[in-house]
Amino acid sequence: MSSSYPSQVDATELKEPSVLQASASHEENHSSTCSHSVDKAFEWRIKWKLDLFILPVISSVYFFASMGRSDLANAKIAGLTEELHLTPQDYSNAATIFLVAYVIFQLPGTLLIKKIRAPIQFSGAMIVWGFLTAITVVIKNHGQLLALRFLIGAAEAFVQGGVFYLSFWYEYRELATRGAIFYSMSTVAGAFNGLIAYAIAVDLDGVNGWRAWRWIFLVEGVLPCGFAFVVLALLPASPSKLRWGWKPEEKEYVVQKALRSHNTTEARLDVKKVPAVLLDVHFWLFTLIACGGHFCLGSLSNFLPDIIEGFGYDTVNSQLFTVIVYISAFIGVIFWCRLADITNARGLVLAGSTVGAVVSYAILIGATARNTRFGATCLLAFSIFPNPVLQLSWSAMNFVGYTRRGSALAFFNIISQVFGICGTQAYSDPPYYRKGNAAALGLSVMIIVASLALRWWLSYLNRQKGSQLSSSPTHEMSQQSIEDMGDKHPGFLYST
């Protein structure tokens, strides 16, 4: 069942009494002076202010995190493997250890956003991983590379709650599109990395006695350190903590938007609720989707320059051709996520977007012509890069309450990163990587099946709730708050 909101409960039922009074007063003052069109204009102004003040800052955080995640791939063909004498397995281990740190630190990195406060947590993480990336220039062996990649991954885990943070600010019907803009920064970062690596390979390779890979790490380490202070100054911790640039009535309206997406300013971490999400069928269906997506994305991000070099392009041009692939990914993320918000058919859009990945992997397994394989790689990026944001934004709509939603999003990333690790290990047979592509093909089919099964299951749960509305237990449960019961509340309907 699709609807603009996944809940039938009126937004006012979710408000605290003090908020209700303030809201009523605000509505009375406006009703005497403003028409419906002015109210719409006010609503659009708030949305645009969020899009201009909140979205660019948090998206920039993810941009720099994505640069830090994919810079190893660019460094690989810029002299890293030769100078450190890395075998293919050594490189795979370096890519893997980064994801291991993600797995270990993902849960606290997500659930502590309100405790530490987003501007402090995100800016602090940027300074740490930027510094560690910059000092990579002094490493001399494989062991030092492994240690630094683990620490960088640990620091970056503390900014991976970006979609969770966005869910504080946007209503459900707005979340996938904003999540797309947020997540598309990974594609922009990949393209930017390619351009930086290309420029460095042409102009700086050998300068100061350094191979190009050292310059790549230095440049991409300094940038997040500098931008961290912008994040600290501009990013608010939550809707109730908005700072300069907002009028009182605008702040009040933003808080009401948060309440309509089942966020409350009083909600705090409830440790007892953390493992409860593991008992739900739809959690595991969402997890299957996330696991397949991370396997495909982890391998593509970490091996893309190497894969393109295997098509027959030289090292310098391989860096440049990654830009084209990431542009395809950017277009795909925006297109599929906007379609999801317009149609609200989340499961169908997710399944449909993955069909192109199945076709792409089939071509990559069977074809040997360079241009055909490059075209298939562009189609693959267009199809598979939207997966994480489609999955995370859909799941954010269907897990309610600060602890429950945060735990679900964190567990998705923790479990799926294990598959991301498998992806980095599966791509060990260059130049065609048929073993890894075959595994990715099978997992892409799994994503399609799981998406359709999840859509059916959530529709079934909605029908069950509808058929039990008149029962006494349901009436008693409906007296409890959404924050206490989460998405199991009788008045809550799942988005499909």
The per-residue pLDDT for range 227-258, each reduced to its tens digit, is 999 999 999 988 888 877 888 888 888 888 88
Q: Using alpha carbons, list the distances in angstroms from residue 20 to 12, 13, 259.
A: 7, 9, 11
The mean pLDDT value for 394-421 works out to 88
Q: Indicate the pLDDT class of residue 477, thresholds 50, 70 and 90.
A: low
Q: Is the predicted pLDDT of residue 412 greater than 70, yes or no?
A: yes
Amino acid (1-letter code) at residue 124 = G
Q: Is the predicted pLDDT of residue 20 greater than 60, yes or no?
A: no
Helix axes 281-310, 434-467, angle to 10 degrees: 160
Q: Is the predicted pLDDT of residue 262 greater than 80, yes or no?
A: no
Identify the residue with better confidence: 139 or 417.
139
Q: Is the predicted pLDDT of residue 474 greater than 90, yes or no?
A: no
Provide the CATH number for the domain around residue 381: 1.20.1250.20
Q: Is the predicted pLDDT of residue 398 greater than 80, yes or no?
A: yes
The mean pLDDT value for 45-74 works out to 91
- Maximum mean pLDDT: which of 194-198, 229-233, 473-477: 229-233
The mean pLDDT value for 285-296 works out to 96
Q: Is the predicted pLDDT of residue 17 greater than 50, yes or no?
A: no
The mean pLDDT value for 448-464 works out to 96
Task: Assess contact for 111 and 408: CB atoms under 8 A.
Answer: no
Query: Which H or E run includes 145?
Result: helix 142-156
The residue segments making up the domain with residue 452 are 61-240+274-467
Whether residue 382 is contained in a domain is answered as yes
What's the confidence (pLDDT) of residue 281?
96
Q: What are the residues facing 492 on neighbouring strands?
A: 7
Whether residue 84 is contained in a domain is answered as yes
The alpha carbons of the chain give a radius of gyration, in whole angstroms, of 23
What's the confidence (pLDDT) of residue 263?
65
- Maximum mean pLDDT: which of 1-10, 106-115, 126-135, 479-488: 126-135
The mean pLDDT value for 456-484 works out to 75
Task: Decide: residue 85, CB within 10 A, 0-12 exposed, 13-18 middle, 19+ buried.
Answer: exposed
What's the confidence (pLDDT) of residue 144?
96
What's the confidence (pLDDT) of residue 23?
34
Distance, CA of 153 to CA of 98 (rounded, Å): 5
Distance, CA of 66 to CA of 189 (rounded, Å): 6
In this prediction the pTM is 0.77
Distance, CA of 129 to CA of 68 (rounded, Å): 8
Read off the tokens for 400.
């309610």
Amino acid (1-letter code) at residue 280 = D
Give me the percent of the chain exceeding a pLDDT of 90.
47
Task: Assess contact for 351 and 451: CB atoms under 8 A.
Answer: yes
Read off the tokens for 388.
């994480």
Whether residue 179 is contained in a domain is answered as yes
Which range (7-16, 90-99, 200-209) has the least confidence?
Answer: 7-16
Query: Which H or E run includes 200?
Result: helix 172-203
Distance, CA of 296 to CA of 250 (rounded, Å): 42
What's the confidence (pLDDT) of residue 138?
95
Q: Using alpha carbons, list the distances in angstroms from residue 131 to 59, 128, 228.
A: 20, 5, 11
Whether residue 65 is contained in a domain is answered as yes
State pLDDT tens for residues 438-448.
999 999 999 99
Give me the percent of the chain exceeding a pLDDT of 70.
87
What's the confidence (pLDDT) of residue 467?
84
Task: Assess contact for 399 and 261: CB atoms under 8 A.
Answer: no
Residue 490, helix vs strand vs coil: coil
Whether residue 18 is contained in a domain is answered as no
Identify the residue with better confidence: 136 or 486.
136
What's the confidence (pLDDT) of residue 150?
97
Q: Is the predicted pLDDT of residue 11 greater than 80, yes or no?
A: no
Distance, CA of 266 to CA of 240 (rounded, Å): 10
Amino acid (1-letter code) at residue 327 = I
Q: Is the predicted pLDDT of residue 9 greater than 80, yes or no?
A: no
Whether residue 250 is contained in a domain is answered as no
Which range (64-73, 125-134, 285-294, 313-322) has the least confidence?
Answer: 313-322
Whether residue 308 is contained in a domain is answered as yes
Q: Is the predicted pLDDT of residue 45 greater than 60, yes or no?
A: yes
Whether residue 42 is contained in a domain is answered as no
What's the confidence (pLDDT) of residue 327?
93
Which residue do the tokens 């946007």 mark? 170
What's the confidence (pLDDT) of residue 19?
34
Query: Which H or E run includes 132?
Result: helix 118-134
Task: Assess contact for 341 and 347: CB atoms under 8 A.
Answer: no
Domain count within the chain: 1
DSSP character string of 74-123:
HHIIIIIHHHHT--HHHHHHHHHHHHHHHHHHHHHHHHTHHHH-HHHHHH
What's the confidence (pLDDT) of residue 447?
98
Read off the tokens for 441.
């093909």
The mean pLDDT value for 423-441 works out to 87
The mean pLDDT value for 324-345 works out to 93
Identify the residue with better confidence: 430 or 112.
112
Mean pLDDT of the chain: 85
The mean pLDDT value for 308-325 works out to 80
